[in-house]
Structures are given as C-alpha cells and as structure tokens.
Homo-oligomer: A and B are copies of this chain.
Amino acid sequence: MKLGNQVEWAIHCMELLARVPDGVYIPTKVLAKFHGIPKEYLSKALQALALAKLIDGTLGPKGGYRIARKPSKISLLEIVEAVEGSKKTFHCQEIRLNNPCLPKKRKQADSICAVASAMYQADEAWRKVLREKKLSDIIRGVDRQVPPELMAASTHWIQSALD
C-alpha cells in the first residue's frame, strides 16, 4: 500500500500552475527542471491531469499547461484519483464464497462482506480528508512556510524560463 511519486509531483505542479497569471502556459520542461524531476515521466502525470480536466494543455511555442479551475474548486482527491486511478484501495475477492459448505447454486453474494465493509470505511475516511482538502489550502500552507524572498526568486526564475 504505497502511493507513487507521481502524486507528489502532480500536487506540486498544480500548486505552481495555480500561482501564474491567467492565460500563461507552463511547459513540462520548465515544471520538470524547477522540481528536479525527469521531464518525460512527469509528462505522464500531467497527461493524466489533463485527461481529468484539471489542467489543459496547448501546443506550439509558448505552449504548455495551465490550471483549468480555481484552486479552491480543486480537491486533492481529484488530483490523486487522476494520477492513481479511482479504484478503491481494497478490492474484495469474495473468498467467503469459496466456503466448501456453501451450496453450489448460492455462489453469489447477497450482502457486503463484513471484512470488505470495514476496509471500505477506512478507504472512505481517507478519501474524505482528501476531498475536503483543496488545492487552495495547500497554497496557503506553502505561503506560510516559504520565505517571501525565496517565493519572489522562484517566480522570477519561472518567468525567465518562459522566454
């Protein structure tokens, strides 16, 4: 039970995309260099985000990605699900139906397995936190942590990279 690195990358990139002025596109190349991660592979995560309509991309010079919605309208769950898929963390195999005492005909579940139910509750608790946590909250948190001069330098660095 482990999340891939793409999740971290995706959230950081979304946070950065949310900071640039409207209408500005940032290419994968710049996002990758800024975060020090492999460009080609990051591309896959961004593709997933684009497919989920969280960002949209444009081709050609001055192209790249921009955020598709306001940060307050994007939850972390959407980002995580876009990258990792929306399947539940626990997949019930219904091994209780393998019980040799069970008559052959009743090989179908009529209720949710108690084990699966418990695991689904845990899964839902996890999702609930991510659903209520918005991208805007992340931005606020980062603002509180990063010193203003570093933030300004970063903004400037991005600007230069776009030319």
Contacts and interface: CB of A to CB of B under 8 A. Distances in A.
Interface of A: 1-5, 7-9, 11-12, 15, 33-37, 76, 80, 84-85, 87, 89-93, 95-96, 98-102, 111, 113-119, 121-123, 125-130, 133, 137-138, 141-142, 144-145, 150, 153-154, 156-157
A151 to B, nearest CB: 9
The complex is assembled from copies of this chain, and their number is 2
B150 A102 contact: yes
Return the 10 tightest CB-CB contacts between A and B, nearest first: A36-B98, A114-B141, A101-B153, A126-B126, A122-B129, A125-B125, A125-B129, A35-B95, A11-B115, A122-B126
Q: Is the interface of A mostly helix, strand, loop or mixed?
A: helix
A114 to B, nearest CB: 3
Nearest to A10: B115
